[in-house]
């Protein structure tokens, strides 16, 4: 057996075994200018993976000589060299998932047909994002760069949904490789109409699409013909459905993926939420699919969008609170594994938008009324979206805060100065006593995020004054602010961890008021509370144990 054949067998095996895990990671929301309160475009991204570390990538702008080459390494498999491609003469500054021109790109993996993965391509989905951000200024240009890269160098990931936003337009691009049947990929890109919001969460969402409207829809010339050749589609061209052909719906695609989109949509259009509630449960795949985009009842601010990324299906049929799955402290998370068995019967846990295994998440804002040096902001956070604190990072920044820096700790190396580990410590404590600790964390989170939003307004104004005489000074100003604000935020979280440790030590609650612990009249600790369990959990204990713990003192 030759090496290439062996690689194909290994790749296919890994793809089949990992497709379920990969395809239930990450959530994106796409907000157009007309759907936002301030006229910015916004994208969100939660990088939900047990293999990713929470850090903020920085690719400085650079000049390269003619003929320079770029080494490509697989983004989420550190150290895995994929190949070399020609480098461009000039690259742009990139902070996280946004560049100096306010172009932002995020993604979710939908997997799709396993046979369409290709082990010999050079471009993986992560490298595709970060290389494109270094080369493109607008969303349309980004689509051209991304599709050209995979066509020229091959694509080695499974199916992807990409969110792409610039100062004016927001697009969704869905792309899948051709496996051993051809080089490159088949794809469709649709522009989100202004005034609307879209979302995707690991299930392909583009169905039918206009095939003669290049202002609003772009696609590969063989997207339909390739599906015909492979036997994925047999109808008329006008009826071609990208998702049905390349990523057919199944129960997990709805319950673990589409349901997250429904959770987001229902919060900005409650009537639509009611209409698609049965669909989101995944038991009837014949039901009408949700629209690709919706018009929100009210325009969204950046805090609104942050909160959408913190959904746990609260107050819906998918809410696990009040069940044994939520544990004694009523956490809204199911546990892992996502699918499990008991007595040879298969079961599953819910997969909400907010989940513990998030490495980092973000909300990008492209603000076209400001110069690029000031307009682009990445609201960045690490760990679980429900317990993170988003801090603003201007994407013209020339440096990154130490707390977010690549190399400051990793999954195997604890660093006391890494934001990821600091936030993880607080989250881990909260999971054990969720109903008690979560309100304290959320209170501090809201205080800091609201303060950050107010502060950004002042920084914008000051930077705009500097920009008139020296754009370079404006960039240095917003860089320093981004770093200092991030470091201060982590220091505040350090204080929060200490507060939680004292308040909830040894299974009791230390009394406090406004963050100050109450002392007795003699200066000692105040009387602690012993809350025990909720009435729901007490009932479950009795149902499980009967009279075992019943006191004989009962009459």
DSSP string, 182-216: -SSEEEEEEEPPTT-EEEESSS----S--SS-TTT
| Residue where one domain finishes, among candidates 348, 383, 410 | 348
H/E stretch holding 78 reads none
Distance CA 51, CA 44 (A): 20
Q: Are residues 445 and 430 in the same domain?
A: yes
Task: State residue 2's pLDDT score.
Answer: 43
- The structure tokens 């040096």 sit at 373
Q: Are residues 428 and 499 in the same domain?
A: yes
Task: State residue 25's pLDDT score.
Answer: 81
Is 265 within a domain? yes
Is 122 within a domain? yes
Distance CA 65, CA 478 (A): 30
- The structure tokens 């301030």 sit at 38
Residues of the chain where predicted confidence (pLDDT) is lower than 50: 1-23
Q: Are residues 9 and 111 in the same domain?
A: yes
Q: Are residues 501 and 517 in the same domain?
A: no
Is 354 within a domain? no
H/E stretch holding 362 reads strand 358-366
Q: Are residues 340 and 412 in the same domain?
A: no
Phi–psi pair at 84, nearest 5 degrees? -125, 140
Q: How far is CA 535 from CA 159, 433, 438, in A?
A: 46, 16, 19
Task: State residue 24's pLDDT score.
Answer: 57
Distance CA 167, CA 155 (A): 28
Is 550 within a domain? no
Six token digits for residue 217: 């829809």
Q: Is the peptide bond before 337 cis (omega within 30 degrees of 0)?
A: yes
Are 132 and 181 contacting, i.e. CB atoms less than 8 angstroms apart?
no
- The structure tokens 């989905």 sit at 125
Q: Are residues 175 and 278 in the same domain?
A: yes
Q: Are residues 329 and 442 in the same domain?
A: no
Q: Are residues 47 and 81 in the same domain?
A: yes
Helical pair 125-133 and 139-153, crossing angle rounded to 10 deg:
130
If one counts the domains in the chain, the total is: 3
What are 91's strand-pairing partners?
A: 62
Q: What is the pTM of this model?
A: 0.94
Q: Whole domain around residue 199: which residue ranges?
A: 3-348
Distance CA 553, CA 504 (A): 31
Is 551 within a domain? no
Is 284 within a domain? yes
Are 68 and 87 contacting, i.e. CB atoms less than 8 angstroms apart?
yes
Are 143 and 173 contacting, i.e. CB atoms less than 8 angstroms apart?
yes
Nearest to 137 by CA among 91, 78, 73: 91
Q: Are residues 490 and 402 in the same domain?
A: yes
Q: Are residues 286 and 407 in the same domain?
A: no
Q: What one-character DSSP code corresponds to residue 95?
A: E
Q: Is the peptide bond before 87 cis (omega within 30 degrees of 0)?
A: no
Task: State residue 334's pLDDT score.
Answer: 74
Are 113 and 180 contacting, i.e. CB atoms less than 8 angstroms apart?
no
Is 410 within a domain? yes
Q: What one-character DSSP code corresponds to residue 526?
A: P
Q: Are residues 61 and 180 in the same domain?
A: yes
- DSSP string for 259-282: HHHHHHHHHH-HHHHHHTHHHHHT
Distance CA 403, CA 330 (A): 32
Is 420 within a domain? yes
Distance CA 31, CA 29 (A): 7
- Residue pLDDT, tens place only, 67-109: 999 999 999 888 999 999 999 999 999 999 999 999 999 999 9
Q: Are residues 63 and 188 in the same domain?
A: yes
């Amino acid at each position: 057996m030759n090496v290439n054949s062996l690689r194909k067998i290994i790749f296919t095996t890994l793809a089949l075994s990992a497709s379920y895990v990969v395809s239930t990671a990450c959530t994106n929301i796409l907000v157009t200018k007309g759907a936002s309160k301030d006229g910015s475009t916004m994208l969100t991204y939660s990088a939900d993976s047990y293999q990713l570390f929470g850090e903020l990538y920085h690719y400085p702008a650079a000049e390269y000589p003619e003929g320079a080459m770029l080494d490509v390494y697989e983004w989420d498999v550190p150290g895995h060299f994929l190949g070399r491609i020609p480098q461009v003469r000039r690259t742009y500054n990139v902070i996280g998932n946004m560049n100096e021109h306010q172009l932002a790109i995020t993604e979710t993996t939908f997997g799709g047909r396993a046979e369409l993965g290709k082990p010999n391509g050079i471009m993986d989905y992560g490298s595709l994002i970060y290389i494109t951000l270094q080369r493109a200024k607008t969303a349309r240009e980004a689509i051209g760069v991304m599709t050209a890269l995979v066509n020229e160098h091959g694509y080695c990931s499974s199916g992807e949904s990409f969110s792409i936003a610039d100062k004016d337009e927001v697009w969704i691009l869905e792309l899948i490789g051709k496996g051993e049947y051809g080089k490159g990929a088949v794809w469709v890109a649709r522009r989100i109409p202004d005034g609307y919001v879209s979302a995707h969460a690991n299930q392909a969402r583009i169905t039918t699409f206009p095939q003669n409207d290049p202002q609003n829809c772009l696609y590969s010339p063989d997207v339909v013909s390739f599906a015909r050749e492979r036997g994925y589609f047999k109808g008329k061209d006008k009826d071609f459905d990208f998702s049905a052909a390349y990523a057919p719906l199944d129960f997990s695609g709805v319950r673990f993926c589409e349901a997250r989109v429904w959770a987001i949509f229902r919060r900005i259009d409650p009537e639509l939420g009611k209409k698609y509630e049965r669909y989101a449960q995944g038991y009837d795949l014949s039901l009408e699919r949700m629209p690709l985009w919706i018009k929100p009842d009210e325009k969204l601010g950046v805090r609104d969008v942050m909160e959408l990324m913190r959904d746990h299906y609260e107050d819906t049929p998918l809410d696990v609170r009040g069940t044994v799955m939520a544990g004694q402290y009523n956490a809204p998370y199911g546990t892992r594994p996502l699918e499990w068995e008991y007595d040879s019967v298969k079961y599953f846990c819910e997969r909400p938008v907010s989940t513990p295994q998030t490495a980092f998440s973000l909300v990008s804002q492209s603000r076209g009324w400001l110069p690029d040096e000031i307009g682009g902001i990445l609201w960045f956070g690490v760990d679980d979206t429900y317990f993170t604190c988003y801090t603003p990072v201007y994407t013209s920044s020339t440096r990154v805060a130490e707390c977010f820096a690549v190399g400051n700790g990793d999954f195997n190396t604890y660093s006391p100065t890494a934001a990821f580990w600091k936030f993880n410590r607080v989250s881990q404590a909260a999971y054990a006593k969720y109903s008690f600790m979560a309100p304290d964390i959320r209170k501090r989170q809201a205080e800091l995020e609201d303060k950050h939003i107010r502060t950004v307004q002042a920084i914008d104004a000051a930077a705009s004054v500097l920009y008139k005489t020296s754009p370079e000074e404006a960039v240095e100003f917003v860089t320093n602010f981004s770093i200092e604000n991030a470091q201060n935020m982590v220091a505040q979280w350090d204080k929060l961890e200490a507060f939680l440790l004292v308040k909830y030590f040894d299974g009791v609650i230390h009394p406090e008021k406004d963050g100050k612990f109450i002392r007795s009249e003699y200066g000692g600790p105040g009387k602690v509370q012993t809350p025990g369990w909720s009435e729901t959990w007490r009932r479950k204990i009795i149902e499980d144990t009967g009279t075992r713990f019943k006191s004989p003192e009962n009459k």
